[in-house]
Amino acid sequence: MPFELTKDFIEELRTAIENKDEKTALKILDSLHAADIAEIYDAVNIDEAKFLYLLLDKETAADTLAELDEDDRERFLKVLPGDVIARQFIEKMESDDAADIIGDLDEEKKEQVLSHIEDIDQAGHIIDLMSYDEDTAGGLMAKELIKVNENWTLTNCLREMRKQAEEISEVYYVYMVDDNDILRGTVSLKRMLLSDNRKKVKDIANFDVISVKTETPREEVAGIMEKYDLVALPVVDSIGRLLGRITIDDVVDVIKEEAEKDYQMASGISEDIESTDKVWVLTRARIPWLLIGLLGGILVANVIGIYEVDLGMYPEMAFFIPLIAAMGGNVGVQSSAIIVQGLANNTLGIESTVKKLGREFVVASINGVILSIIIFVYNLFASDTYALTLTVSIALFSVIIFASFFGTLIPLALNKLKIDPALATGPFITTLNDIMGLFIYLMIGRILFAVL
């Protein structure tokens, strides 16, 4: 039942566009959701997209625009005049989508579009919303909501709701305010449907309402909605007046982006990219971490350089350089990933840093002992230098302990300093552990080869 974009589908649509066959094209698009049309738009060129857009009714066109990738949308809005954007798209949009879209335009176009919005209330809402930082609750919220006074009867309520509900696509809660517009509670549509109409709103309201302030960071908003399983969350100002509401669909995107940001960081990618992005975007997102890796490699080369004479005498020392470096990196990334994820999900608990390091030390010791014994046994058979066998095992154990320690401590420290702890994963910690690990390895080697 859900739509799947195929090559054949695109071919059929393209043929219709080429023949300027509006009827066929419209029939193809007719049964599709705006999110599907947005996907199609991503796969055709700008002229084809324009042809398709002009076929859509206003509402679908507006929904589709809201569903587009930011890049695609920008490209598309560039070729349209401000009054067309205002009348064709913005008018039918919810205030949060409209504010996001207008906020991305350049100053001149922004003025043009805003001046062509006919509904003064809507223009006011959009301008209000554009003033909030997009990483806060204010930047996520929409102005459209249904608000009723606590002293109204349900009959009054229904009358007022008929007026307010027209401009809102979905209603999950009705918000109850007092005479000063202070948020007092919520009323579920279910209870409203099932209660006697002569009752007052406050008789059937739920007073235990969770809300956020406009300046609440979006990660916190996502955390609250996730924890309390909310589909909508009201936003209030500093004295508690109801300003807007955030819906779960916008927060799902935030939750996903946050989780993916950590993944990209751990993979050494510095921007939010997709495999179909342009070559220079992909290159730009990947080169920073590679430069850091290169710099790390040069530092490591210098560390090894200190031991050039030893390596000339015992070249077999070089065999295990990659093993030591890789294991340090792996352990460090594991340790930091656990902390980064714990910080992101707020599951680190109230335990102290010392206790965390203690547990990490035990885990590292167990892993270290197991792995060191394995490599020791391997080298007993594979290597004829006893000094090397001993060096590799001791160094491996030490590196695992150190890497766990740094891997745990660095993300915690970055978090205290209000720097994104995910920076500590990926190439950064790998490089640090490479340097430290090889230093330990070669030093132990120098001593043991001299002694044994």
- Measure the CA angle with vertex 67, ends 62 and 70; round to 5°: 110
Complex with its own copies: residue 77 or 317, whichever CB lies closer: 317
Number of residues that bind its own copies (CB under 8 A): 127
Complex with its own copies: residue 109 or 286, whichever CB lies closer: 286
Helical ranges in 7-45 per DSSP H:
7-18, 22-30, 34-43
Considering only residues 433-452, where is the footprint of its own copies by CB under 8 A? 434, 438
In angstroms, what is the minimal distance from the CB of 414 to its own copies?
Answer: 16
Q: Residue 39: what residue type? A: E
Considering only residues 116-145, where is the footprint of its own copies by CB under 8 A? none
Complex with its own copies: residue 82 or 411, whichever CB lies closer: 411
Q: Cα 223 from chain centroid?
A: 13
423 lines the binding site for its own copies (CB under 8 A): no
Report the distance separating Cα 358 and Cα 379, nearest Å.
31
User: Residues 61, 300, 395, 409: which binds its own copies (CB under 8 A)?
Assistant: 300
Name the burial class of residue 190, with classes exposed (0-12), middle (13-18) and buried (19+) by CB atoms within 10 angstroms of its CB.
Answer: exposed
Structural tokens at position 55: 């076929």
Considering only residues 159-218, where is the footprint of its own copies by CB under 8 A? 161-162, 165, 168, 170-172, 188-190, 192-194, 208, 210-212
In angstroms, what is the minimal distance from the CB of 184 to its own copies?
Answer: 13
User: Residues 118, 151, 263, 416: which binds its own copies (CB under 8 A)?
Assistant: 263
385 lines the binding site for its own copies (CB under 8 A): no
Considering only residues 341-360, where is the footprint of its own copies by CB under 8 A? 341-342, 345, 347-351, 356, 359
84 lines the binding site for its own copies (CB under 8 A): no
Nearest Cα residue to 224 out of 346, 95, 135 = 346
Complex with its own copies: residue 150 or 360, whichever CB lies closer: 360
320 lines the binding site for its own copies (CB under 8 A): yes
In angstroms, what is the minimal distance from the CB of 235 to its own copies?
Answer: 11
325 lines the binding site for its own copies (CB under 8 A): yes
User: Can you tell me whether residue 384 is helix, strand or coil?
Assistant: coil
User: Can you tell me whether residue 125 is helix, strand or coil?
Assistant: helix
Report the distance separating Cα 37 and Cα 58, nearest Å.
14
Q: Are 97 and 103 in contact (CB under 8 A)?
A: no
User: Residues 370, 377, 447, 452: which binds its own copies (CB under 8 A)?
Assistant: 370
User: Residues 55, 80, 84, 248: which binds its own copies (CB under 8 A)?
Assistant: 248
Name the burial class of residue 367, with classes exposed (0-12), middle (13-18) and buried (19+) by CB atoms within 10 angstroms of its CB.
Answer: middle
Window contacting its own copies (CB under 8 A); options: 19-27, 111-119, 129-137, 427-435: 427-435
Q: Residue 314: what residue type? A: Y
In angstroms, what is the minimal distance from the CB of 380 to its own copies?
Answer: 13
In angstroms, what is the minimal distance from the CB of 150 to its own copies?
Answer: 19
Contacts of 137 by beta carbon, 8 Å cutoff, 6+ apart:
212, 213, 214, 215, 216, 217, 218, 221, 233, 235, 246
